[in-house]
Chain A
Amino acid sequence: MVDVRLQHISAEFNHPVRGTIVAVRDVDLDVHSGELLTLLGPSGCGKTTVLRIIAGFQVPSTGTVFIDNQDVTNVPANKRDIGFVFQNYALFPHLTVQENVAYGLRVRRQSAAEIARNVEKVLHLVDLAGFGPRLPNELSGGQQQRVALARAIVIQPRVLLLDEPLSNLDAKLRVQMRGEIRALQRVLGITTVYVTHDQEEAMAISDRIAVMDQGRIVQCDTAEELYRRPISSFVAGFLGRTNLLDAVFVERDGDRLVLDIEGQRLSIKASTALEPGNAVKAMVRPEAIGIGPAGGGLTATVVTVTYLGDKVEYVVRVASQSLHIVRFNPPESERFAPGSAVTINLPSDGVQLLPRD
């Protein structure tokens, strides 16, 4: 079942100086019932605009927005039954925690007794029981965050929308809060769209992630699929660290492909529609690469070694190209000094071919 559906959504703005700006280009997106979908991308990629269009704060230039199979493109935000959590929380500074949370219930004309009961229940849920009479400026950042969350979910919205809700918190609290948000979302089963530019946060919290770049959704899948099989170097680079080696496709060898990397041959397991002689990028994650003494495999030279306790990071040079390698808990014997010649082993099923762009 689909709860939120975007069809051919575009958004253009008129900027007084820069003219027409296209913030969102022809976005199609389905958010399934009960799932947490994250819009991930660098700043300015249009992810917040998409969220605001779902909320109804902005009208798309073209396209249609459906919530529960109902066309809401021209329905104002206050009639869409959404819960929104803002980056800066947007708590009403003149209202207490209780009054902030009760705001949406009052608008919905619930009885005083109902409101009191619901507010207490939700404050308990976000671990803020007893904080009702306080004003927002008497709370810490994390507490304000919880109030914002409580205020959004207490109205039992059809969709919960979160716009970089954790970016104003410190690193430790961020990790804790994202766990709590995820747990709460699972318990309540609210269909949720979450915006962030932090790939780790996105991977930790999401059922699916839609990666956005320059107004477009470039790939939408589970975190693991995105990590293992990115469709472009942008996606590969945005989720986790990665190496992109310039290579040339030489020939097919059974179910294997043979690549040429500046004169050295590499054989990998992959399928491709490439023609021999095509330039490609071979993507491989730093932690997937093995390193050993010279002899066999790709020949490389160690440039730097960084000891980090639980892992050792190498930068090596293969012909003219640099490669990052991360070795987790390597045996003490495995230690190569800068300048030494080594062999690196790329796992035959851990290399992904991407178009050179």
Chain B
Amino acid sequence: MSSLSIRVADPLRTAVLALIWLLLALFVVYPLVMLGLRAATENGTFDLAPAIAALRHANTVRAFLNSLMLATLVGLLGTALGFLFAFTVVRAQIGRTMERLLDTATLLPLISPPFTTSIAFVFSFGPRGFITYNVLGMTNAQVYGLRSTLIAEALTYFPLAYLALRPMLVAIGGNLEEMAFSLGSSRWRAFRTVTLKLTMPGLANSFLLLFAASLADFATPLILAGNDLPVLPTEAYLQITGMFDLKGGSVLSLLLLVPALCVFLLQRWMVARRSYVTLGGKGARALTGDTVTPGLRWVLVIGCMLVVLLIFYLYGLLAYASAVRAFGANGTLTLDNYRVVFTEGLPAIRDTLIIAGIGMPLGGLYGVLVGSLVGRVRGGQALELVSMINYALPGTVVGIGYLIAFNTPPFLLTGTATIIIACYVFRYSPAGIRTTIALLAQIDRSIEEASTSLGAGTATTFRRVLLPLVLPAFFAGLSIVFIRSMTAISATIFLVSIHWTLITVRILENMTELSLGPAAAFSMFVIVVVMLVTKGLDLLLRVLSGSSARLMTVEHE
């Protein structure tokens, strides 16, 4: 009955809701509209001709096709790796130590700047790379191109697939497969007709997840794609920063929007459909029998270990590169690179920490507020959808939209920290929103009503009852906004200025200036700070909630 009930009007709730819609209109809808207008008008009149001309440009078509191809390949390879990891952890009975090792290896790419793998790739396979130059003795190795970009992106994003597939495989459980096995299927047939079939929606979903991630990835192709593989995000960036062609950039970014939107809608449709998979219930969890043969178990473990070793090798190489005078030429250990970070790099560090520090609580609170409103007000679904837009959009689209929208009065924000903070809050809080919605779905409505019946108003109920209960969601919001503020670049590269800059932008500048040592040192700094802060938040959450609530550091479906 409660889902149908008529709610008593409440002025505070109404005011907060109005404020949130206002903010969403300003920071989500308005930039998108301005972006579309810029692409479709010329000197104030509607004119599609320049946009169509830009679309017809041979390079644009190539970039579009390249983006789609790269995203498809990354989606396939990443999902395969994710499934390999998930299946191994759930079914191969690898033991706790091994499981922790896999979890650590998959966590690393998630908390690093998105191009860490790319930088390490250059160290490993570049002209002076450890493997290409030192091991193989090649003098003219070609690291730039499709292969490196594909592998680097797959390594960066496959943990998302792993995190999405693992609970699904747990939910399916081995009992069903054993049932099929006992009915006379071969192991392979049982796997194919039961487990794989039931995981299909999850696989499709994680493919879309990775497709979208790759489509939006800006930094990896900028570093690794080279001249022969133009993709849309990099082209849009070069169009704007290289040729000062804001219109061309807008058109390119809108072109990026088409597949991104398709993926987003497909995903929502699939999520709505896939409920049958979890029907198995709790009983399926206790998996005791061997569902893989010993031979297969070894294959799985070795496959995973190769990937894990590759990841650790790349991060190790990064750490090494940050601590030597000149990677590939002079291996003397030195702290010079870190000295650069803490002298020349200090403004970027300070700016980034200030922005992350302000964005973090705002994002956490915003996520919890929106999340708790979604299920409780008229138009909650629309609220959820709109609040997800900036998260679902490629960063390039959001960044260019903000650049256009906030460059002129009445909302002149260019060059301020506000624009960067707003970008992060509205782009990365949806994780907090979703977690809040999920947590509240488990809390009966009567808890709130109990508070109301005891005389508490909306504000008191929120502060004393809802907030403590959604504390894990609040912390998830905090940690994810912080991590992204430290590591993201695709949107904010358009928003930095001489007044406010970011570590990630400095890393990219270092890479293009071939100051590889400082780039590596900066990356290490970011990874360490993110680890420390998430660890600190995790501890704080445990103390505050007095229980074993775990901090969520990754947004996933």
Contacts and interface: CB of A to CB of B under 8 A. Distances in A.
Interface of A: 11, 13-15, 21, 23, 48-49, 52, 55-59, 61, 76-79, 81-84, 86-88, 90-94, 103-104, 107-108, 151-152, 155, 161
Interface in B456-497: 456-457, 460, 464-465, 468-469
Contacts of B10: 76
Given A77-B453, A103-B454, A86 B8 contact: no
Contacts of A79: 455
B7, B10, B452, B460 interface centre (most CB from chain A within 10 Å): B452
A161 B468 CA distance: 27
B243 interface: no
A78 B450 contact: no
Given A56-B8, A59-B8, A77-B8, 14 more contacts: A49-B1, A52-B5, A55-B449, A55-B453, A58-B6, A78-B453, A78-B455, A84-B453, A87-B446, A94-B545, A107-B455, A107-B460, A108-B455, A155-B454
Nearest to A106: B464
Contacts of B468: 94
Given A15-B4, A58-B6, A92-B465, A155 B446 contact: no
Interface in B427-457: 444, 446-447, 449-457
Contact of B453 (A14, A59, A82, A108): A82
Interface in B369-396: none
A48 B1 contact: yes
Contacts of B447: 90, 92-93
A83 B455 contact: no
A155 B444 contact: no
A2 to B, nearest CB: 21
A2 B358 CA distance: 56
A155 B4 contact: no
Nearest to B453: A84
B452 A57 contact: yes
B469 A103 contact: no
A58 B5 contact: yes
A76 B454 contact: no
A79 B464 CA distance: 18
Contacts of A152: 453-454
B4 A14 contact: yes
B548 to A, nearest CB: 13
A56 B7 CA distance: 9
A246 to B, nearest CB: 37
B5 A103 contact: no
A145 to B, nearest CB: 14
A355 B474 CA distance: 62
A78 B452 contact: yes
Contacts of B465: 92
Interface string B1-37: 1001111101000000000000000000000000000
B410 to A, nearest CB: 38
B444, B451, B455 interface centre (most CB from chain A within 10 Å): B455
A21 to B, nearest CB: 7
B447 to A, nearest CB: 5
14 contacts: A13-B1, A21-B4, A52-B5, A57-B449, A57-B452, A58-B6, A76-B452, A78-B454, A78-B455, A78-B457, A86-B449, A92-B447, A107-B460, A152-B454
Contacts of A59: 6, 8
A152 B451 CA distance: 10
A103 B453 CA distance: 11
B446 A78 contact: no
A151 B454 contact: yes
Contacts of B1: 13, 23, 48-49
A155 B453 CA distance: 10
Nearest to B11: A76
A86 B444 CA distance: 11
A88 B451 CA distance: 14
A90 B456 contact: no
B465 to A, nearest CB: 6
A78 B456 contact: yes
Contacts of B545: 94
A21, A52, A91, A103 interface centre (most CB from chain B within 10 Å): A103
B455 A84 contact: no
Contacts of B455: 78-79, 81, 104, 107-108, 155
B358 to A, nearest CB: 28
Given A56-B8, A94-B469, A77 B446 contact: no
A84 B450 contact: yes
A14, A21, A77 interface centre (most CB from chain B within 10 Å): A77
B165 to A, nearest CB: 31
Contacts of A76: 8, 10, 452
Contacts of B6: 11, 13, 58-59, 61
B490 to A, nearest CB: 39
A13 B5 contact: yes
B8, B10, B453, B469 interface centre (most CB from chain A within 10 Å): B453
B422 to A, nearest CB: 32
Nearest to A94: B468
A55 B448 CA distance: 13
A103 B468 CA distance: 14
A13 B1 CA distance: 9
A48 B4 CA distance: 13
A181 B7 CA distance: 30
Given A104-B454, A107-B454, A13 B4 contact: yes
A76 B425 CA distance: 34
A48 B446 CA distance: 13
A15 B453 CA distance: 26
A66 B7 CA distance: 19
A21 B456 CA distance: 31
A172 B465 CA distance: 33
A94 B455 CA distance: 19
Contact of A77 (B4, B449, B460, B464): B449
A21 B3 CA distance: 13
Nearest to B457: A78
A106 B471 CA distance: 22
B4, B457, B545 interface centre (most CB from chain A within 10 Å): B4
A209 to B, nearest CB: 22
B365 to A, nearest CB: 19
Contacts of B449: 55, 57, 77, 84, 86, 90
